Amino acid sequence: MLEVQNLMVFFENALALNDFGMEVREGQVVGVIGSNSAGKTTLMNTLSGLIIDMRIKEKRRGGERITVYGKVLFKGEDITKTRPSERVKKGIVLCRERHPIFPESDVSQNLQMAGYLRKRSEIRETVKEVFDLFPALIPLKSRKAGFMSGGEQQMLAVGMALVARPQLLLLDEPLLGLSPMMQHLLVDAIKGLKAKSGITVVISEQFARPVLPMIDFGYIIENGMLTLTGTGSELMDNPEVKAAYFGI
């Protein structure tokens, strides 16, 4: 479904992604595991096209020069230079890190905004699904999103991404800063999502422990380079992964 070939991303002279390649099959949950500044967010931004927007903005401002080489293929089509809004139309939706919500609007408006490109009936339908998935959001419907706790915001953020009706959902560090209970809840929700709608998910995380059991295939990335690949259980049994991410 998605294929990344020889991806290289430079921020001025710093190399954020080096010769990175990955492949995502339809219906899979794929994990990208790596520590801080390993290039996970850059990868997600490149997949969702945000990097194109960032490059234009930086260029206008005369700031850092962002250079992207390599290819991103979605369903066999080269989308390396496609704008983010076009990619959303094609079904690639990113949920950015650190609770990407609209703080001054309430929950239901947030969900409406996320469905910008979708039909009203579709939005109504998915919003219902989102509330089924996260019942905790129902009593908060008319609460301003900025006043909610980090966990509630993250639920909302995932819900918003779903309203945009993705075929390929990109989750950038969804578990960051959440308490263990919230983490369980989200992981369960993602599992349920996969079982129910067969959505394809790419999830980037630095905590391997909660993520590895649920992924079909994983990529471990360090300093912008791919160091290990394998199925979830393969990675879990790998001694190096254990040492680095489980602290054993």
Partner 1 sequence: MLLGTLIYGFVNSAILALLAMGFNLTFGISGVANFAYGAVYIFSGFSVWIFLNTFGIPYLSAVLIAIVLSGLMGLAIYYGVILRIKGMPLSEVMATFGLGLAIMELFRYFDFVGFRYTLPIFFDGSFSVGEVYIDYQRMMIGLIAVALTVCLYLFTNHTRTGLAFRAIAQDERTALTFGIDADLVGALSMALGCALAAIAAVVILPLGTIAVEGGYEVLINALAVCIVGGLGSTVGILVASVLIGFSQTFTANYLEPHWMMLVSLIAIAIVLVVKPSGLFSHQKELEERI
Partner 2 sequence: MGGYIMTEQVPLLRVKNLTKIFGGVTAVSNMDFDLPEGNLLGVIGPNGSGKTTLVNLITGFVKPTAGRIEFRGKEITGWPPYKVVGEGISRTFQMVRPFYQLPAFKNLIVPLYSPRVKKLAGGKYGNRDAVALDLLEEVGFERDAYVSYKKAGALPQGYLKRLELAKSMALRPDLIILDELFSGLSLAEVASIVPIIEKLKTKGKTIIMIEHRLKELFRIADRVMVLNYGRKIAEGRAAEVMESPDVKEAYLGSEGE
Partner 3 sequence: MKRRKERIDRGVKARSADIFALTSYREMLYLLIPGAIPVVGLLCFTPILSDYWREVMISTAVYALLAMSWDMLMCAGLLSLGQSLFFGIGSYLAGSLNYYAGLPPILTMPIATIGGGVLCTVLLLPVLRLRGVYFAMVTLVLPLMLSRLVEATRILGGTEGLTGLTPFPNQLTALFVIQLALLAVLFGFRRIMGSDYGLVIKGISDNDRSVMSAGLNIYWYKTQVLFLGACVGCFAGAFGTHMDMFAGMPGFALDYSLMPVASAVVGGTGTFAGPLIGAFILVPLSEMLRALGALRIVFYGLFLVIFVVGLPEGIFAYVQRKYQQRERWVDIS
**Residues in contact with partner 2 by the rule CB under 8 A:** 14, 35-37, 147-152, 176-182, 184-185, 206, 244-247
Binding partner 1 by CB under 8 A: which of 7, 34, 96, 202? 96
For the purposes of burial, counting CB atoms within 10 Å of the CB of 171, is it exposed (0-12), middle (13-18) or buried (19 or more)?
buried
> Between 105 and 124, how does the x/- string for binding to partner 1 read (CB under 8 A)?
x---x--xxxxxx-------
Binding partner 1 by CB under 8 A: which of 29, 51, 95, 236? 95
Size of the site for partner 1 (CB under 8 A): 35
Choose from partner 1, partner 2, partner 3, none: what does 152 bind? Cβ within 5-8 Å by kind: partner 2
Considering beta carbons, is residue 64 or 125 the nearer one to partner 3?
Answer: 64
Task: Tell which residue, 131, 50, 56, 59, has the closest CA to residue 88.
Answer: 50
Choose from partner 1, partner 2, partner 3, none: what does 244 bind? Cβ within 5-8 Å by kind: partner 2
Q: Where are the alpha helices (DSSP H) in the chain?
A: 40-48, 50-61, 84-90, 107-114, 120-133, 150-163, 180-197, 208-211, 232-237, 239-241
Question: C-beta of 179: minimal distance to partner 1 in Å?
Answer: 18
The DSSP bridge pattern shows strands 66-74 and 225-231 to be: unpaired
The DSSP bridge pattern shows strands 200-205 and 29-33 to be: parallel
Binding partner 1 by CB under 8 A: which of 133, 140, 160, 182? 160
Question: C-beta of 122: minimal distance to partner 2 in Å?
Answer: 30
Task: Tell which residue, 214, 209, 236, 240, has the closest CA to residue 227.
Answer: 240
Q: What is the DSSP string of 1-24?
A: -EEEEEEEEEETTEEEEEEEEEEE
Question: Which residues in 43-72 contact partner 3 (CB under 8 A)?
Answer: 60-62, 65, 67, 69
Question: C-beta of 201: minimal distance to partner 1 in Å?
Answer: 15
Question: Which residues in 30-89 contact partner 1 (CB under 8 A)?
Answer: 48, 50, 53, 57, 60-61, 83-85, 87-89
The DSSP bridge pattern shows strands 92-95 and 225-231 to be: unpaired
Question: C-beta of 205: minimal distance to partner 2 in Å?
Answer: 11
Look-up: residue for tokens 């991806």? 7
Contact 212, 243 (CB under 8 A): no
Question: Does residue number 2 form part of the binding site for partner 1 (CB under 8 A)?
Answer: no
Q: Hey, what's the torsion of the CAs at 133, 185, 222, 201, to 10 degrees?
A: -20
Give me the residues that bind partner 3 (CB under 8 A), please. 8, 10, 12-13, 60-62, 65, 67, 69
